[in-house]
Amino acid sequence: MGDAAILVEDLGKTFGEIVALDGVDLAVPEGTVLGLLGPNGAGKTTAVRILTTILRPDRGRAAVLGHDVATDPDGVRNVIGLAGQFAAVDGNLTGRENLRLVGRLTHQRKAVVGPRADELLERFGLSDAADRTVRTYSGGMRRRLDLAAALVHKPPVLFLDEPTTGLDPRGRNDLWAVIGELVADGMTLLLTTQYLEEAERLADRIMVIDGGTVIAEGTAEELKHRLGNTIIEVRLADAGASQAARARLEAVGAAEVLDDGRTVALTVGDAGRAVLEVVRTLDSAGLTPEWLTVREPTLDDVFLQLTGHKAAPGAGEGEAPPTGRGRRGRRGAP
Amino acid sequence: MTSTAPAEVTSTLEHRSKLGWAVQDALTVAQRNLVALFRVPTTLVFSTVQPVIFVLMFRYVFGGSITVPGFRYVDYLMAGIFVQTVTFGSINTGIGLAEDLSKGLIERFRSLAMARSAVLAGRTLADAVRNVIVIVLMVSVGFLVGFRVHTNVASFLGAVLLMVLFGFAMSWVMALIGLSTGNAEAAQAAAFPMMAVLVFASNAFVSTRRMPGPLRAYAEHQPVTAAVDGVRALLNGGPLAGKVLGSAAWSLAIVAVFAPLAVRRYRRAA
């Protein structure tokens, strides 16, 4: 693991009777992005807190650029930046003052702190608001300032704990663009998120975590291929028609009626042949679909299959990608 | 063991000793707190409203019925008011830290390679500065209601120093409470009864002589009484050394016990 910027072995942490982390291993190569994906309470934030020296692990080992969190916490602190879901900036200070404060507290020379703060304000589109107190900022502006504060000392490794949770779609897109630039610059990034789209968009590799353990790991593509199949969805006029269709379509692939009662989802291997069979089957049964779609499985499907429960509430509803029409009711695919 | 940080990271770092950084980081945090204090002066105002009401109440409502041998009551009273003001004022330290904690600022600070003592030392230092301002305001209020200093400027400054020192000591107690409770309302609720028992069961407003036995024993051997004794002697004259030393000793002892406890709590706060 010579190239691992972040290395975690058998990490465990318990709070009273609650097991937050139960033997997590991970390695993030330098210059890559790992997305830690999981629902609330999965253990993502605990992992970040341990890696940023805020919490001590009960067992296991965690190191950043070779600095062990237990034996050399200041060494870790010097090479990391942390931006969190709580937007930890001081509302009583201006944006500029917040960045200078962090600059001084990270022991940067005075002469570099001012220009560095200005540079970050400019880069994150906060120059106009630089001298306003942060309490007047919008949620998106606060998050950008929080991220800027994590970068004042130019850390080579960055931790983002649910960076866009609670942001509106525009704020989320703005922040994604900013994070994308950091990634393009070669920063090593560990990102936690409840949003499947966020992990897919920003991360090189994704680790799905639930109940304090890693339940899957891979690229977004690899995770999707775990389902190994294409999904065909057919919507019919009513519940009766959909049941009739499902019964007949079982011959083509694993078929299931979704929560809306009218859509039949079919998991198939050979998409082209299957579409023809579906059309033929429906036609011969006298069933005319309202529409028919063919799609690749999304991370939502993967998550559902792996964990047996849905991804974060809200992750696919309204704010996230327009790919999610009502398929969330489907239970584990074959 | 693996790679090192890019050169630019280290080249912009300033180098100081560990102690040097502990002092510098504390001053940096103190400055941050003072900027906030002057930008949002409501806490400063509220720090004085309650003691002003106490001055008016004890001076004009109860004062006529209270006699303390050897003192004009207003002179006796004001020494107690000053100590009361810094004691209750220390609750702000706990509230401020509890807010920093609940807003995630402490989490950020703890992820930085800054001194572990700095957030607390910076907060208690800033609150000591706030106390100086509040004391100046309260002395002015005292003058308006007839309070006079019967010693000299040096003694008066010594009295102010004792008050600030005692407030600083109580700030460390409140720092521990603020970090332990983790939210402003709980910190205030937890602190008030304790502060009230310290301030009211003392010689701040009345002599302890007429208190029933056990209460009197407590009242005569607790830090607020010691602080008030020192301040009162410096403002009114009379035997000094023992009282001033007693007051300073209490304050230093409180810092010696509570500062390490608070820092330990800070290291674990989450």
Instruction: Tell me if chain A has a CB within 8 Å of the CB of B4.
Output: yes
Domain presence at residue B12? no
Q: What angle, rounded to 10 degrees, do the helices at B73-89 and B223-236 form?
A: 130
* Cβ-contact B14, A109 below 8 angstroms: yes
pLDDT of residue B270: 56
Is there a contact between B111 and A82 if contact means CB atoms under 8 Å apart? Answer: yes
At A49, the pLDDT band (50, 70, 90 cuts) reads very high
User: Which phi and psi (to 5°) does residue B205 adopt?
Assistant: -115, -30
Residue A328 has pLDDT above 70, yes or no: no
Distance from CA of B107 to the nearest CA of A (A): 7
Q: What is the average pLDDT across B244-255? A: 95
Q: Which amino acid is at A89?
A: V
A54 contacts in B (CB within 8 Å)?
107, 110-111, 270
Q: Higher model confidence: residue A197 or residue A105?
A: A105
At A309, the pLDDT band (50, 70, 90 cuts) reads low
Q: Higher model confidence: residue A329 or residue B213?
A: B213
pTM of the model: 0.82
Beta-strand relationship, A4-15 and A59-64 = antiparallel
Number of residues in chain A: 334
Task: Count how many domains chain B has.
Answer: 1
Q: Which of B33, B112, B264, B268 to mutate to test the interface with A (most CBs of A within 10 A)?
A: B112
Distance from CA of B125 to the nearest CA of A (A): 17
Q: Higher model confidence: residue A112 or residue A197?
A: A112
Is there a contact between B12 and A109 if contact means CB atoms under 8 Å apart? Answer: yes
Q: Where in chain A is the domain with CATH 3.40.50.300?
A: 4-224
* Cβ-contact A302, A224 below 8 angstroms: yes
Domain presence at residue B49? yes
Strand partners, A61: A9
Residue A329 has pLDDT above 70, yes or no: no
Rounded percentage of chain A residues whose pLDDT exceeds 90: 52
pLDDT of residue A60: 94
Q: Higher model confidence: residue B87 or residue A268?
A: B87
At A326, the pLDDT band (50, 70, 90 cuts) reads very low
A87 contacts in B (CB within 8 Å)?
104
DSSP letters spanning chain B: ------HHHHHTB----HHHHHHHHHHHHHHHHHHHHHHSTHHHHHHHHHHHHHHHIIIIIIGGG---TTS-HHHHHHHHHHHHHHHHHTHHHHHHHHHHHHTTHHHHHHTSSS-TTHHHHHHHHHHHHHHHHHHHHHHHHHHHTT----S-HHHHHHHHHHHHHHHHHHHHHHHHHHHHH-SHHHHHHHHHHHHHHHHHSSSSSS-GGGS-HHHHHHHHTSHHHHHHHHHHHHHH-S--HHHHHHHHHHHHHHHHHHHHHHHHHHHH--
Q: What is the average pLDDT across B223-230? A: 95
B29 contacts in A (CB within 8 Å)?
105
Q: Higher model confidence: residue A331 or residue B80?
A: B80
d(CA B180, CA B257): 16
Residue A220 has pLDDT above 90, yes or no: no
pLDDT of residue A72: 94
Out of A21-30, A112-121, A294-303, B105-114, least confident range: A294-303
DSSP at A279: H
Q: How far is CA A312 from CA A166, A172, A194, B239, in A?
A: 12, 16, 6, 71
Listed residue (B227, B23, B38, B251) closest to B130, CA to CA? B38
Name the residue facing B8 among A92, A110, A154 (closest C-beta).
A154
A78 contacts in B (CB within 8 Å)?
5, 9, 13, 113
Is there a contact between A53 and B111 if contact means CB atoms under 8 Å apart? Answer: yes
ipTM of the complex: 0.88
pLDDT of residue B5: 46
Distance from CA of B177 to the nearest CA of A (A): 20
Out of A195-204, B75-84, B110-119, B140-149, least confident range: A195-204
Question: Regarding the domain delimited by A4-224, which CATH topology (the fold level of the hierarchy) does it fall under?
Answer: Rossmann fold (3.40.50)
Listed residue (A272, A93, A8) closest to B39, CA to CA? A93
Is there a contact between B114 and A105 if contact means CB atoms under 8 Å apart? Answer: yes
Domain presence at residue B186? yes
Q: Which of A99, A105, A151 to mutate to test the interface with B (most CBs of B within 10 A)?
A: A105
d(CA A10, CA A108): 35
Listed residue (B11, B84, B219, B115) closest to A77, CA to CA? B115
At A3, the pLDDT band (50, 70, 90 cuts) reads confident
Q: What is the average pLDDT across A13-21? A: 90
Is there a contact between A154 and B35 if contact means CB atoms under 8 Å apart? Answer: no
Instruction: Tell me if chain B has a CB within 8 Å of the CB of A106.
Output: yes
* Cβ-contact A34, A204 below 8 angstroms: yes
Out of A87-91, A225-229, A294-298, B142-146, least confident range: A225-229
| Runs of H (alpha helix) within A106-219 | 110-123, 139-151, 169-184, 196-202
Nearest-Cα residue of chain A relative to residue B17:
A107
At A85, the pLDDT band (50, 70, 90 cuts) reads confident
Q: What is the average pLDDT across B214-218? A: 92
**R_g of chain B, CA atoms, integer Å:** 21
pLDDT of residue B10: 54
Distance from CA of B243 to the nearest CA of A (A): 40
Residue A166 has pLDDT above 90, yes or no: no
Name the residue facing B270 among A30, A55, A86 (closest C-beta).
A55
At A311, the pLDDT band (50, 70, 90 cuts) reads low
Is there a contact between A105 and B112 if contact means CB atoms under 8 Å apart? Answer: yes
Q: Tokens 């310290």 identify what position? A: B198
Q: Where in chain A is the domain with CATH 3.30.70?
A: 227-329
Q: Decide: helix, strand or coil at residue A104.
A: helix
Distance from CA of A328 to the nearest CA of B (A): 34
Q: Which of A53, A94, A104, A131 to mutate to test the interface with B (most CBs of B within 10 A)?
A: A104
Most confident listed range (A36-40, A100-104, A241-245, B60-64): A100-104
Summarised one tens digit per residue, pLDDT across range B4-26 is 444 445 568 888 888 999 999 99
Is there a contact between B270 and A105 if contact means CB atoms under 8 Å apart? Answer: no
Nearest-Cα residue of chain B relative to residue A15:
B270
Q: Which of B10, B12, B34 to mutate to test the interface with A (most CBs of A within 10 A)?
A: B12
Instruction: Tell me if chain A has a CB within 8 Å of the CB of B270.
Output: yes
CATH 3.30.70 fits A227-329, yes or no: yes
Cα A109 to chain centroid distance, Å, stands at 35
Residue A304 has pLDDT above 80, yes or no: no
pLDDT of residue B269: 67
Beta-strand relationship, A59-64 and A157-161 = unpaired
Q: What is the average pLDDT across A292-316? A: 68
Q: Tokens 């005569």 identify what position? A: B220
Q: Domain containing B152: what range?
A: 18-268
Distance from CA of A85 to the nearest CA of B (A): 9
A108 contacts in B (CB within 8 Å)?
12-14
